[in-house]
Amino acid sequence: MIVVDPSYEIQDDLDKGSLVTRLEACGRICYKSEEKITEGSALPFVKKIAEHGHNSVMEMAVVTLRLHCSSQQVTDFLGCQPKYFIIDLVENGLLVTGSIRAFRELYLSFPETVLVQAMVDFLGASHSYLLEGVWQSVDRNGVSSIAVEKMTLDQVEQLAPYLLLRHRFLSVKFIVNRAVTHEIVRHRPCSFLQESQRYCRYNQDKFGNQVTFIRPMFFAPDSAEYTLWKQAMELTEDLYLQLLETSTPQAARTVLPNSCKTEIIVYCNLAEWKHIFRLRTSPAAEPSMREVMIPLEAEIKKRYPELFH
Ligand SMILES: Cc1cc2nc3c(=O)[nH]c(=O)nc-3n(C[C@H](O)[C@H](O)[C@H](O)COP(=O)(O)OP(=O)(O)OC[C@H]3O[C@@H](n4cnc5c(N)ncnc54)[C@H](O)[C@@H]3O)c2cc1C
């Protein structure tokens, strides 16, 4: 068995890449198949994922659009009650942030709404592969009265504080135990992707042929309690590996405990991070949760001192 400390990483690198490379990098956490990432692997991976309906992967990239449109077009759009979008009225139009999934599903539900058409046509012109099965290039009979611009991340970072808080999405990868992830996933506005004990078979070479556990912060390493915890993990690992000889990972995992190491990506806007920190760094929160959330909050506070104080 392997024992590791919990950790987290703000995924700045993914912000620099394309949408599709971001989706692949996040999606592969479920299978722990990051070693399969090559120059040409992103597109086929994402297409397959979309076909299979593994929809949460398509939530892992958001796009912010600036729309110049009329107030009637805004009213028609808001009449659709768009779900899972961040929408703000700005001068002469709207600021809209949504994930690829949100845009796909909006178009499926409201293909006749001109503002929806304008946004999805705009995305489709450069990223048609992300809208496959949902959208096709259409001749709309003339020039649209709606101007659409994609905001770069740098432009989003320059927004006024209220808009920055709402439109800046930040993803963080945590390596923590499964008790912590069980609590994190209660934060409903977030998107999540997590290492799957159904797909990962921990007797494989890439996992070191063993189960990895998170060091419990509750017990000092030389304490009697730590020795008991370690015995329990050794026993459970032994049973899991025996079960794998005749059973699938999803069956064998039924003996795995909360202490199992897992990886999870949490993706949400800064407003939701603020809410999470308020709940998960307080003395009432679970100590293993505070172990990662307190330093993460400090790091994000340094980046956005005017928003997190
Ligand atoms: C110390 C502590 C102890 C806890 N103990 C337990 C426990 O014993 N058992 C248990 O089941 N859970 C427990 N929880 C989980 C807790 O009840 C919340 O589910 C979790 O913290 C998610 O936070 P949230 O609901 O405020 O907001 P999020 O899900 O993060 O949502 C953010 C905001 O969106 C809005 N929102 C999202 N969805 C809805 C909705 N459907 N309706 C209305 N508003 C919505 C709210 O304004 C909310 O503030 C505990 C949490 C903490 C911090």
Q: Measure the CA–CA gap between 210 and 91, rounded to whole angstroms.
A: 57
Question: Which ligand 1 atom lies nearest to the CA of residue 190?
Answer: 30
For residue 252, is pLDDT > 70? yes
pLDDT beyond 80 at 73: yes
**Ligand 1 pocket at CB < 6 A:** 186-189, 275, 279, 284-285
**Average pLDDT of span 2-8:** 98
Interval between CA 187 and ligand 1 midpoint (Å): 6
Residue 113's contacts (CB-CB under 8 Å, 6 or more residues apart) are 76, 77, 80
At CA 119, angle to CA 101 and CA 102, rounded to 5? 15
Domain 2-17+168-303 fold: Gyrase A; domain 2 (3.30.1360)
Helices of type H across 131-248: 153-157, 161-167, 178-184, 224-244
Confidence bin at 142 (pLDDT 50/70/90): low
Is residue 143's pLDDT more than 70? no
Distant-in-sequence contacts of 9-17, Cβ < 8 A, 24+ apart? 9/172, 9/173, 10/170, 10/171, 10/172, 10/296, 10/299, 10/300, 11/171, 11/172, 11/173, 11/265, 14/171, 15/153
Q: Ligand 1 centroid to 254 CA: how many Å?
A: 27
pLDDT, position 42 = 94
| pLDDT for residue 92 | 87
Check pLDDT > 70 for residue 96: yes
Do residues 288 and 261 lie in contact, with contact meaning Cβ atoms separated by under 8 Å? Answer: no
Q: How far is the CA of 182 from the centre of ligand 1 (A)?
A: 13
Instruction: Tell me the mean pLDDT in the region 79-101.
Output: 96
What burial class does residue 12 get, using C-beta atoms within 10 Å of its C-beta: 0-12 exposed, 13-18 middle, 19+ buried? exposed
Quote the CA–CA distance of 123 and 63 in Å, as a whole number. Answer: 9
Closest C-alpha residue for ligand 1 atom 13: 183
The model's confidence at residue 253, banded by pLDDT at 50, 70 and 90, is very high
Mind listing the pLDDT tens digit for each residue in 11-42? 999 998 899 999 999 999 999 999 999 999 99
- Residues acting as catalytic residues: 280
Atom of ligand 1 minimally distant from the CA of 285: 1
pLDDT digits (tens, 9 = 90+) for 50-67: 888 888 999 999 999 999
pLDDT tens track for 256-269? 999 999 999 999 99
Q: Is the pLDDT assigned to residue 102 strictly greater than 70?
A: yes
What confidence score (pLDDT) does residue 305 get?
Answer: 95
Where do the CATH 3.30.1360.170 domains begin and end in the chain? 2-17+168-303
Report the pLDDT averaged over residues 126-150. 87
